[in-house]
């Protein structure tokens, strides 16, 4: 048996195994996508019908205080800071 025949045999075997593994991966992907599609459909259906509604967590009081402070600052308008002639801020 020549070495070229052995290499040819291993190449053919490798090609068959690669094609078989690709086929198995594609089948697994189809199954997984079908399951994901069903799970997403159930989740969307539950949201639209109001089933499985999870109450939202109450906001953090510190976050509320920061949001209120930022809102008040935005309504006050810009702050004019005095500058010197060289462009630095004056006290």
| Whole-number Å distance between alpha carbons of 71 and 68 | 5
As a whole number of angstroms, the distance between CA 36 and CA 30 comes to 10
Q: d(Cα 16, Cα 22) in Å, to the nearest integer?
A: 10
* pTM for the predicted model, two decimal places: 0.47
Digit-coded pLDDT (tens) for 28-41 = 999 999 999 999 99
Which residues, 6 or more positions from 82, have their beta carbon under 8 angstroms from its beta carbon? 89, 90
Mean pLDDT of 48-76: 84
Structure confidence at residue 64 (pLDDT) = 94
Q: What is the average pLDDT score of the chain?
A: 88
Q: What is the pLDDT of residue 54?
A: 67
- Mean pLDDT calculated for residue range 21-25: 97
């Amino acid at each position: 048996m020549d070495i070229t025949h052995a290499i040819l045999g291993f190449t053919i075997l490798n090609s068959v195994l690669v094609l078989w593994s690709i086929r198995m991966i594609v089948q697994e992907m189809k199954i997984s996508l079908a399951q994901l599609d069903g799970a997403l459909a159930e989740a969307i259906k539950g949201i639209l019908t109001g089933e499985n509604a999870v109450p939202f967590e109450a906001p953090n009081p510190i976050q509320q205080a920061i949001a209120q402070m930022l809102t008040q600052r935005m309504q006050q308008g810009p702050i004019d800071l005095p500058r010197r002639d060289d462009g630095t801020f004056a006290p």
